[in-house]
Amino acid sequence: MKMVYKIWLDRGGKVFGDGPYELLRGVNNLNSLHQAAKEMGMAYSKAWRLIQILEKRLGFALLERKVGGISGGGSRITPEAENLMKNYERFRIDVEKAMDEIYQRHFGSMKKGEMR
Amino acid sequence: MKMVYKIWLDRGGKVFGDGPYELLRGVNNLNSLHQAAKEMGMAYSKAWRLIQILEKRLGFALLERKVGGISGGGSRITPEAENLMKNYERFRIDVEKAMDEIYQRHFGSMKKGEMR
């Protein structure tokens, strides 16, 4: 047996979670929302809409567009997005640790056949 | 902003969570799967199938059927189900407490406008 959970931040709808975190991390690594979406197997149009919705709910921009230059532009994350990601990373680590510990405490001894 | 999460136990599929817990609690209070399902706005056939699937995955019975008697039968939970429910209750309380604490630790200061 194992424990499964899904967790997200909400402000009038989903505002941040593992999916958006991965997408922003991809943008940070690849300097491109297009490439980041592709890497996650997500349509660019879907990724773009997601970012729009999250930015509206959060009240600040997550991405800024780099125009021109030798690489022909691209996207990068804003300082606010970077800050949110850092908080979220620490939050996720603490959640993971606490959840594992609590699961072990209450169900750790329950192997198959011992559950009765 | 707030945190939202869904959590469940899994053994080759969902094996226990808030929904099954509520259903069993209803059976325990009402001595009837029929009444318990009705109270949750769940079709009896759906509740019955759910119990069958969970029992199969858990490897023990959750309900026992009382036949006849002055009340014309009904259902009650097994000692194994009662034990599972008690563990789950304590598990849920600890999860709730830890999650609130972790959320406050990382996002508690983030009121609207302070999030940047």
In sign, the C-alpha dihedral spanning B41, B46, B48, B49 is: negative
Q: What is the pLDDT of residues A5-42, one digit of tens each?
A: 999 999 989 999 999 999 999 999 999 999 999 999 99
Q: What was the ipTM of the complex prediction? A: 0.84
A80, A88, A102 ranked by CB distance to B94: nearest: A102
* Contacts (Cβ under 8 Å, ≥6 apart) of B67: B73
CB–CB contact A1 B7 (8 Å): no
> Looking at chain A, which residue has its C-alpha nearest residue B80?
A116
Tell me the backbone φ, ψ of residue A108, rounded to 5 degrees. -60, -30
Q: Give tens-digit pLDDT for B30-81.
A: 999 999 999 999 999 999 999 999 999 999 999 998 776 665 568 999 999 9
Size of interface A-B (CB pairs under 8 A): 105
Residue type (1 letter), B98: A
**Counting Cβ atoms within 10 Å, is residue B24 exposed (0-12), middle (13-18) or buried (19+)?**
buried
Q: What whole-number distance in Å separates Cα of residue A87 and Cα of residue A9?
A: 12
